[in-house]
Structure 1
C-alpha cells in the first residue's frame, strides 16, 4: 500500500492514508495530535468514510431489486485502497471507482471521491458520489472521525457537545445494531450535552434529525472544536466505553430499521442518485489556533 499523503499549512498538518482515504493524524502547529491514534486495544479506526451503507445490515446482507448481496457494517470503502487523484500542499483527493470486486457486492458504476483540504485553522473533509451508470443508485454515506477525549489541554475538565441551533433532538439507541421505530427523549438540554462514558453503554447516541448544521465539542474552560455540516442531516456520538476518544459522526444514512428487511433503498435517510448525477457531503472542523 502507498504511504499516507501529508498536507498542511502554518496551522495544521493532516495525514491521509490511501486505505479508505482515511485521515490518520490532525496536528496543530504546537505539535499536538487531536485525532485518535487507532490503538487496537479499543478501536483501530481513526476517521473512516462509510459507504455505501452506514451501520449494520440484517445478517450482513443488503437487497437491491430483489437480489441479495453481502455487505459488512459501514460498507466496503473503509477497507478499500483509493487512488490518489490530485494533491497540493494544502489538499489531497482520493478516488474509488467501481470495479468487478465492488460490483459483486454493490452492482453500480460509481465514483467516490474523498478530499481533505486545510484553510487557515479549518479542515474540510468532503465526499462526492457520482452515478456513472444508467439506473438509480441508492446509498448511504457518513463520516466517523474520532477525536481525543479528553482533548489536549482539556485534561480533568468536563467535555460537552453544544449544538449551534440550541435544539433538543430526539434520541435513537440501537437495538441489536438496528434503528428502532420509536424515539427517546433528548439527552440535550437547551442544545447542551455534558458527556459521560456511561452514556455509551448501549452503543452510539444517534440523532436522526434536528441536530442541525453545526456543533462545538470541547472542554469547559478549555479547547473547543467547532464543526459545520453540509448535506449531513443525521448525527451520532460514540465512544468505545472507557476509550479516550469521542466520535462525532455526521451521516446521510443510517443502519437498517429493526425488522424492516434488507432493502437498501428502504434504509433511513438513503440517498437515491439518478443516472449521471452527483452529490456532495462534507464537514468542516475549526481547530484551535
Structure 2
C-alpha cells in the first residue's frame, strides 16, 4: 500500500491506497484525533464498508438465487484503490470491479472516494456508479474511529449529542445479524454519556431517528460530525479500547433468521444501470 498526504494550514491527513482509508488526522497544534490502528484492539482506522454493511447469514449473499461468500462489511476495505488525483488539500481514489470482486459481488461497479480538507474539517465522499446492465443493490457506510479520550480530555466524561435531540430506538445484534425486536434508546433528550459497558453486547445500532449530525464532546474538546444520504447510525468500540467509532450507514446487517438475498438487506440502496449515488460525512475538530 502507498500513503498519500494532504494538508492545509490547519490539518494534515494521511490516506492509504489500501481501502482508501484515513491513517491519521493531525491538527496544526500537533494533536492527533484518529485512532492509530493498534491491532491489540482493532487494526482498522476509518474503513469504507461496501458492498454490504455488517454481516451476511453464514457470510454469504445471494444474487439471483446464486450464493457468494462475503466477509463482514464487504471487500472494499481490503482492496487496493487507484490514486486518481492528489490536489494538495484533497485526494481521490478509485476501485472498480475486477475478476476477484465479481466472484464475490457479481456487478460491474465503480467506487470513488474523496478526502477533502477545509479549515479544521475533513469531508469524505463516496460516489458509487452502476456500470452494469441491471439494477445494482448494495450497502455503503463509513466507520471512522476517533480517540477516546480525545486529545487533552483525559479523565473527563465523553458524550455523544445528537443534533436533533432524538431518542432513537436501538437494534440489537445476534451473531452480527439484526434482531427483529427493537430496544429502548440509550439516549436521553439526544445525549448519551459514553461508557464501555454500553458496548458489552456489540455495537449500538440506530436504524432511524438519529438525524444527520452529532457532536462527540468532552469539556472544550469536540468533534462535530454531519452526514448526507446515510439514514442509519452506529456507535462501536471493542472492550476497553481507547477509541469510539461514529458510523453513518446506508444499509445494515441482514436480519437474523431472514434471507441472505442482497436486495432484502435492511436499508440497502439500489442504483439503476448507469446511475450514481453520493454518500458523505464531514468531521470538524474543535479545541
**In 1, Cα distance between equivalents of 2:87 and 2:175:** 44
- Say whether 1:267 aligns with 2:282: no
Would you say the 8 A contact 2:224–2:286 is kept in 1?
A: no
2:230 to 216, 229, 232: 232
**In 2, Cα distance between equivalents of 1:43 and 1:200:** 15
**In 2, Cα distance between equivalents of 1:178 and 1:212:** 23
Shift of 1:175: 1.3
TM-score, normalising length: structure 1? 0.98
Give the match for residue 98 of structure 2: 99
Would you say the 8 A contact 1:153–1:222 is kept in 2?
A: no
Would you say the 8 A contact 1:32–1:152 is kept in 2?
A: yes
Q: Where in structure 1 are there 5+ consecutive unaligned residues?
A: none
- Say whether 1:214 aligns with 2:179: no
Give the ranges of 4+ consecutive aligned residues of structure 1 lying more than 4 Å apart after TM superposition.
none
Q: How many equivalent pairs are there?
A: 287
Give the match for residue 244 of structure 2: 246
Give the match for residue 39 of structure 1: 38
Would you say the 8 A contact 1:57–1:262 is kept in 2?
A: yes
Q: Where in structure 2 are there 5+ consecutive unaligned residues?
A: none
- Say whether 1:205 aligns with 2:204: yes
Q: What secondary structure is seen at the aligned counterpart in 1 of 2:101?
A: helix
Give the match for residue 89 of structure 2: 90
Give the match for residue 110 of structure 1: 109
Give the match for residue 158 of structure 2: 159
Structure 1 vs Structure 2 CA RMSD:
0.7
Deviations 1:132-159 (CA, angstroms, capped at 9, x unpaired): 1110000000000000000001110000
TM-score, normalising length: structure 2? 0.99
Would you say the 8 A contact 1:63–1:262 is kept in 2?
A: yes
Q: What secondary structure is seen at the aligned counterpart in 2 of 1:179?
A: strand
**In 2, Cα distance between equivalents of 1:173 and 1:150:** 26
Would you say the 8 A contact 2:255–2:266 is kept in 1?
A: yes
Shift of 1:276: 0.5
Give the match for residue 51 of structure 1: 50
Shift of 1:288: 2.0
